[in-house]
Chains A and B, each alone.
Chain A
């Protein structure tokens, strides 16, 4: 019959990646049972020592297995140069758009202010959307689909928020202008991610994932 400790250990096995758990879970449970028998026979504090040892091992080994799985499955993210380049490009675009907008507002440059709303949407959606995309890229999700749905959702939510909050401050708010701004922002960021995904590294990654 399984003891409470053994049942608890079975639950802790869920901290490991699925493939690892399937391959070695029964062996690890067997090992825990052996250790449990040994420790509880040895001393009254044996069970405490066993749990301390097991939990400290779990904190080290489970993240290691997850990291290894991520590295294996998402070879594109293991290339540090590519990650830095991608992050740098997005950051540079956001900074340039932000500086351009600030300059246009402080100096009342009509030609820049004409695109003011689009630049505003580009910066806001760029920061939020790209952050989500980079976090999602750690998973096995398709990079193009991830960019498409993230940018679509982020731009839609930001548009609704801007419209809802903006209409309270200014009842004469230019709704079509704002809508165009977020459509432009969506198209710009999605096109950028699509082009990036079509470049060599992601093409190789997509091929690896289809295999």
Chain B
């Protein structure tokens, strides 16, 4: 019997891990798609290189946070040599746990008036 891994036990996530999981939360992506998505949602601050991207993907696959999928979002437009990756349920739980952890930190920073509270 394999031991159940608690999502919280993997926190805090490395920035590259967090951003890849976040990029995959919208749907399946290939390596270049992940890289572009990460660069976009970090306003170009984080640009994953090939080694870092695929090294992280390898670790996420072995940790069962993501899986490789055969389906193609648009088979006609796509190169079949590309590999697509999908967030697993466990990966989703880990991502949610990390987002909650970060949001708690943001709340602390707001209470300490380090950043302003968003206007409602």
A54 at the interface (CB under 8 A from B): yes
B31 in contact with A30 (CB, 8 Å): yes
A45 CB, nearest partner CB in chain B, Å: 15
Identity of the chain A residue whose Cβ is nearest the Cβ of B49 in the assembled complex: A57
Which of B54, B81, B82 has a CB less than 8 Å from the CB of A24?
B54
A2 at the interface (CB under 8 A from B): no
B52 in contact with A30 (CB, 8 Å): no
A58 in contact with B51 (CB, 8 Å): yes
B58 at the interface (CB under 8 A from A): yes
B58 in contact with A23 (CB, 8 Å): yes
Which of A30, A32, A60, A62 has a CB less than 8 Å from the CB of B81?
A30
Count A/B pairs, Cβ under 8 Å: 58
Q: Which of A32, A57, A58, A62 has the most CB of B within 10 A?
A: A57
8 Å CB interface, A13-61 against B: 16, 20, 23-24, 26-28, 30-32, 34-35, 53-54, 56-58, 60-61
B20 at the interface (CB under 8 A from A): no
A60 to B55, CA, bound (A): 11
**Majority SS of interface residues in chain A?**
helix
Which of A34, A35, A57 has a CB less than 8 Å from the CB of B52?
A57
User: Contact mask A59-72 → B, CB, 8 Å, 1/0?
Assistant: 01110110000000
Identity of the chain B residue whose Cβ is nearest the Cβ of A62 in the assembled complex: B51
Question: Do A60 and B51 form a contact, CB below 8 Å, given A23-B58, A26-B81, A30-B82?
Answer: yes
B35 at the interface (CB under 8 A from A): yes
A61 to B52, CA, bound (A): 5
A56 in contact with B31 (CB, 8 Å): no
Identity of the chain B residue whose Cβ is nearest the Cβ of A16 in the assembled complex: B51
Query: Could you list 20 further interchain pairs (A-B, Cβ under 8 angstroms) beyond the known A24-B57, A26-B81?
Result: A16-B51, A23-B58, A24-B54, A27-B31, A27-B54, A28-B31, A28-B51, A30-B32, A31-B31, A31-B32, A31-B50, A34-B32, A35-B35, A56-B49, A57-B48, A57-B49, A58-B51, A61-B51, A64-B55, A65-B55
The residues of A with any CB-CB pair to B shorter than 8 Å are 16, 20, 23-24, 26-28, 30-32, 34-35, 53-54, 56-58, 60-62, 64-65
Question: What are the nearest 10 A-B pairs in CB distance?
Answer: A57-B49, A61-B51, A28-B50, A24-B54, A34-B32, A31-B31, A31-B50, A61-B52, A57-B51, A61-B55
The residues of B with any CB-CB pair to A shorter than 8 Å are 31-32, 35, 47-55, 57-58, 79, 81-83
